């Protein structure tokens, strides 16, 4: 098998992003593989991951990646084009990466976030242009909820302009 055909065989593996095969001067064969990195696990239907590039990856029977889980009314196009990039935003911010555990997608494509701490849901709305709503939530979590208590509300809604609407338990 020559190095080009070996590269083609390797990149057919759904977990491999790229492969480079070359021979060194001393006759050894070297293989450099770049693995695909999942950022979102979708648990609807057969289940799959979405990687950093917005492409679908199959689930592995041997390993579970620690990423945000998405459930609800999700099709692959929405998962790859909208939820994947949103999950990347969460992953790139240490606070959100540690705080958000699950995304629930409603039939109108509104996203509800489930945090790891606190017994409430956070209604984000659409994931497009969500930076201002995430900033609003951050301020509320720092200044508002710490004074009133983490278990006082059952829902925090960020869909409205310039306000955070909370529903008490």
Q: Could you read off the pLDDT of 85-127 as tens digits, one per residue?
A: 999 999 999 999 999 999 999 999 999 999 988 788 999 989 8
* 164: nearest Cα among 141, 130, 131, 148: 141
Q: Are 155 and 121 in contact (CB under 8 A)?
A: yes
Q: What is residue 147's predicted lDDT score, i.e. its pLDDT?
A: 65
- Give the global pTM: 0.83
The answer to which of 7-11, 47-51, 101-105 has the lowest mean pLDDT is 7-11
Q: Looking at the predicted structure, is the pLDDT value of residue 74 above 90?
A: yes
Q: Are 36 and 16 in contact (CB under 8 A)?
A: yes
* pLDDT confidence tier of residue 1, bands split at 50, 70 and 90: low
Residue 93: both structure tokens together: 């911010």
Average model confidence (pLDDT) across the chain: 88
Residue 89: both structure tokens together: 């935003």
């Amino acid at each position: 098998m020559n190095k080009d055909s070996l590269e083609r065989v390797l990149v057919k593996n759904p977990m491999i992003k790229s492969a480079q095969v070359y021979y060194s001067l001393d006759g050894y064969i070297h293989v450099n593989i770049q693995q695909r990195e999942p950022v979102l696990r979708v648990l609807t239907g057969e289940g799959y991951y979405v990687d950093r590039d917005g492409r679908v990856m199959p689930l592995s029977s041997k390993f579970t990646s620690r990423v945000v889980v998405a459930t609800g009314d999700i099709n692959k196009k929405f998962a790859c084009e909208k939820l994947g990039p949103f999950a990347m935003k969460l992953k790139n911010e240490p606070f959100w990466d540690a705080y958000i555990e699950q995304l629930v997608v409603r039939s109108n494509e509104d996203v509800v976030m489930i945090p790891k701490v606190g017994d409430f849901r956070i209604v984000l709305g659409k994931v497009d242009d969500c930076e201002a709503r995430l900033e609003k939530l951050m301020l509320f979590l720092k200044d508002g909820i710490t004074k009133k208590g983490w278990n006082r509300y059952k829902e925090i809604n960020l869909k409205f302009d310039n306000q955070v609407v909370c529903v008490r338990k």
